[in-house]
Structures are given as structure tokens and as C-alpha cells.
Amino acid sequence: TLGHPRTPRAGMATVMAKQARIHASTRTCRTIARRGNVRARAEPKRVQAATTATPVEWDQVAEKLDEASPLEIIDYALQTFGDEVAIAFSGAEDVAVIEYAHLTGRPFRVFSLDTGRLNPETYRLFDKVEKRYGIHIEYMFPDTAETEELVRTKGMFSFYEDGHQECCRIRKVRPLRRALRGLSAWITGQRKDQSPGTRAAVPVVQVDPVFDGKDGPGTLVKFNPVSNVTSAETWAFLRTMDVPVNELHSQGYDSIGCEPCTRPVLPNQHEREGRWWWEDATAKECGLHSGNVMDSAVDGAKEEAGDLYTSSNVEEVSKDEMEKMATSGADVSTMAVIYAPWCQFCQGLEPAYEEIAAQLQGTGVRVAKFRGDTERDFVAERFQLQTFPRIVFFPKAGAKEFVTYPSDRRDVENLMAFVKALE
């Protein structure tokens, strides 16, 4: 069902007036709406994604819109695709995208995935959003037979034992595919800062690399209008515009999904750490033997991968020295990373590891590295290593036990706290 704002299409003066209030309220909101003086346009032009979604054209559009405000990007999406584009709403802070759509004054559609496992607070937000904007959210539900088979075979909480992928595939991914097959474009609330390393390259518009649209593979256009907006800027906008938000946010939930797979986060934890927390350690590491499955196809890539942690502040240590430090302690307190150059997570660690090495110069703590993929049996036996990277701290001689860094948050601040706690 096409969702319509409660009021008729607003004049551009109204839109600009609302933006002016954003500008006057906070500096953050000025950043969000800095380019938001949308000009009057003709009625939405209907275009077929199949005739426009060529990689070159949409790459050019993405480049032009990269500095645009979310309001401009959403207005462009709604003007271009009309009722063949819809907003994906999860029931969290992505309600900001709906507010932006409302500010354009154009009709817009909203759909949401009702997995059957959402929190009551999320359902209450759905109701508030429908009433505030005078729309009907298009709910997508999982296939009944598939869901029954999963639960009857594996129980209600199988994802705690064998991972969330199967449950998500049935309850989220397949319903999403059904929704998108009826569209030429969709609008998400993805932000680059939500999950550094996996969402850091989210463009504001792209041809969807995963899902198909109504005109087949390679034709679905995906808009990420808040890609360049931070969490702080998003919340400043929501407060300024008095937008209804999920009650769970006030209870420590930064990222909200299904009830069994979402929990509050502690101060200074990243917002995505509240999702699928029991999988985080493996989800952010490379398996000890994952290189084996690549031997035939990626041997060349492994050879091409240059070494890591090449800063002069990081010392390469030998197998014999690693053995000595593990059994007898170190001559000087040493933090060492056990790594594989081809592992994307080891590569992602490099900037932070070299930075902390620089900061620890002259403190009496040595920062070292040991390549573990060439000594798999040794690191597995001596350090119980199953995944790369592994960071260990060897206290100076006299304290024989090495300590393994326990967290998957491998940033400078947390690594430094780890060193200070042991030094």
C-alpha cells in the first residue's frame, strides 16, 4: 500500500522552513541538512531501473550525491522512482529516513520485516510511525512452512548453537528478497559508522550487488542516504524533529533487531556489539585453516599479499623466541600479534597496531609480530590458536604465564588499556 503523509505535498517553502529550524537548533543538524534547500520539481518521473541501472551511470550519480544531504538524496530517489521505491524500516533509529521522506512532501512507501521475534517496543514504534505519518507499513513475514520446519527440527533458539545465519535466512533474507522483487529501488538506513570494516564503504547510491529488483538481476538501485551521517548527528536530528523512537534505546539498546539476538551495550562499546554477541569473536577473525580452502584458487593472492606491521616500531620475532617467552617469560614485557598476511582482519588491525607500537616506544614495552600461518601446528598447540589474529602479552621474566587479549575490539584505546593493565 502506498504510504502518504498526512498533509498534501508540502510547498518547498514549508520544507525549507523545517530545515531552517534544524539549522537553528544545533550544529549537528546543520551538518545533516546543509544542502537541504530542495528546489520545486515536477511530479515524480517514473523510470525503469532496467534502463538506468548501469554501473557507470549510478557510479556517477553516487559521486555527485556523496556530499548531498540525506534530504536531497531521498528527494532524488522519490522523484526518480516514484512508487517503485520503498524505505526499509527496522524499527530503530532508521526512523530518521522516514522523517526525511516526509519532509520532501512526496508520497513514499515503507516496508518492514516482521520476523515474529521482535521486541514489543518495536511493534509499538511501528504503530506510532504509522499514526504520525499517516501511512500503512507494508509488513513482510517469513514463510510459515519454513519457519515451522526450522523450529520443530531445531527448537526456538538453535542460533545460539549453530549461528544466526539459518534463522536470519528464513525470517529476514527471504522475505526481504520477496519485497525487493516488486521494486526498482529501495532506501536503507545504513551508516558507515555502524560496523567499521564491513560498512565503511557504503556508497550513498549503488546498484544493489546482492538483491534483484522487479526487472531482474543487476537492476535494483539501493539508496543509503544517511551513509555519511554519524550516530550522534542522527540522534540530534531525531530530537530536533521530535521523531518517535524505539523505547529500547533508552534502556541501553543502540542497535535493535530480534529480541533473542539483541542486548544492551555497555558504555563505550560499539553499537553493533549488542547483536549476535556470541558470534563476535569468530565473525571478526580468520580461521586457522581457512587458508587451506583457498590453496588452489588464491595461492597467487596469498603470494601477492605483502607483509603486515612493517613499521620500524614493530619487531619480528622468531619461533624459538616465541617458544621461550611462552615457557620462561620475556626479557622485556612484550605484546605480540600472531597473524596471517592474507587475513582481512589482520590487515584491518594494521593501522591500530602500528599506532600503539609508536605510542609504546620508550615505555619499556616491546611490540612484536609473529607470522602464524607458516607455523600452524606450533601456534595451535602452544597458543591454542584457531583464528587469526591473536594478540598475546608476555610479562617480563619472572611471570611465566602469557595473557591473551580477550576482546575483538582491536582499537588503540582498548589495546592500550590491555597493556597498562598488565604492565
Q: Is the dihedral of CA 98, 103, 104, 106 positive or negative?
A: positive
pLDDT at 247: 94
pLDDT surpassing 80 at residue 365: yes
Q: On the CB side of 17, how many CA atoms lie within 13 Å of its CA?
A: 6
Rounded to 10 deg, the angle between the 95-104 and 70-81 helix axes is 70
- Ramachandran bin of 381, using left for φ above 0, alpha for ψ from -120 to 50, beta for the remaining angles: alpha
Identify the weakest region by mean pLDDT among 164-178, 192-206, 245-259: 192-206
Distance in Å from the first CA to the final CA of the chain: 62
Per-chain mean pLDDT for the chain? 80
pLDDT at residue 398, rounded to an integer: 59
Residue 360: its pLDDT value, please? 95
Render 160-229 in DSSP notation, one character per residue: HHH-SHHHHIIIIIHHHHHHHTT-SEEE----GGGSTTTSTT--SEEE-SS--BTTBTT--EEE-TTTT-
In tens, the pLDDT along 58-84 reads: 989 999 999 999 999 999 999 999 999
| Distance from C-alpha of 170 to C-alpha of 112, rounded to nearest angstrom | 15
DSSP at 404: E
The question of whether 286 is a catalytic residue gets the answer: no
Q: What is the pLDDT of residue 180?
A: 96
Q: Which of 130-139, 188-197, 271-280 has the lowest mean pLDDT?
A: 271-280
Q: How far apart are CA 275 and CA 254, in angstroms?
A: 10
Position 37 confidence tier, pLDDT thresholds 50, 70, 90: very low
User: How far apart (Å, rounded) are the C-alpha atoms in residues 326 and 401?
Assistant: 7
Q: How far apart (Å, rounded) are the C-alpha atoms in residues 66 and 249?
A: 29
- Answer whether residue 36 shows pLDDT above 70: no
| Average pLDDT of the residues in 150-163 | 90
Q: Does pTM surpass 0.75?
A: no
The 10s digit of each residue's pLDDT in 325-344 is: 998 888 899 999 999 998 87
d(CA 284, CA 273): 11
Q: Is the pLDDT of residue 200 over 60?
A: no
pLDDT at 44 over 50: no
Q: What is the pLDDT of residue 275?
A: 74
Q: What is the C-alpha to C-alpha distance for residues 33 and 20, in angstroms, rounded to an integer?
A: 9
Range with lowest mean pLDDT among 55-64, 97-106, 215-224, 366-375: 55-64
Contact 319, 378 (CB under 8 A): yes
At 254 the pLDDT is: 80
Of the candidate ranges 146-155, 214-223, 264-273, 412-421, the one whose mean pLDDT is the lowest: 264-273
> Taking each helix axis from N to C terminus, what angle separates 412-422 and 344-359, rounded to the nearest 10 degrees?
60
Q: How far is CA 183 from the centre of its chain?
A: 24
Backbone angles phi, psi at 389, to 5 degrees: -85, 165
Distances, alpha carbon 422 to alpha carbons 50, 368, 383, 395, 415, in Å: 59, 16, 18, 7, 11
Whether the pLDDT of residue 420 is over 50: the answer is yes
Q: Are residues 209 and 221 in contact, defined by beta-carbon separation less than 8 angstroms?
A: no
Higher model confidence: residue 167 or residue 409?
167
How far, in Å, CA of 402 to CA of 151, rounded? 43
Task: Indicate if the pLDDT at residue 8 is higher than 80.
Answer: no
User: Residue 16: is its pLDDT beyond 70?
Assistant: no
Identify whether the C-beta of residue 393 lies closer than 8 Å to the C-beta of residue 356.
no
Residue 279: pLDDT above 50? yes
- 29, 167, 286, 346: which is the annotated catalytic residue? 346
Q: Give me 91's grid cell.
A: 524499527
- Cβ atoms within 10 Å of 7's Cβ, excluding its own: 10
Per DSSP, the residues of 97-163 read HHHHHHHHTS--EEEEE--S-B-HHHHHHHHHHHHHHT---EEE---HHHHHHHHHHH-TTTHHHH-
The CA distance from 289 to 421, in Å, is 32
With beta carbons less than 8 A apart as the criterion, state whether 62 and 27 touch: no
- Are 339 and 385 in contact, with CB atoms under 8 Å apart? no
| Euclidean distance between CA atoms 111 and 229, whole angstroms | 22
DSSP conformation letters of 256-301: --BGGGB----TT--GGGGBSGGGHHHHTSEETTGGGGGHHHHHHH
Q: What is the arithmetic mean of pLDDT over 144-154?
A: 95
Q: What's the average model confidence in pLDDT over 153-180? A: 90
Query: Distance between CA atoms of 187 and 226, rounded to whole angstroms?
Result: 10
Flag whether pLDDT at 390 surpasses 80: yes
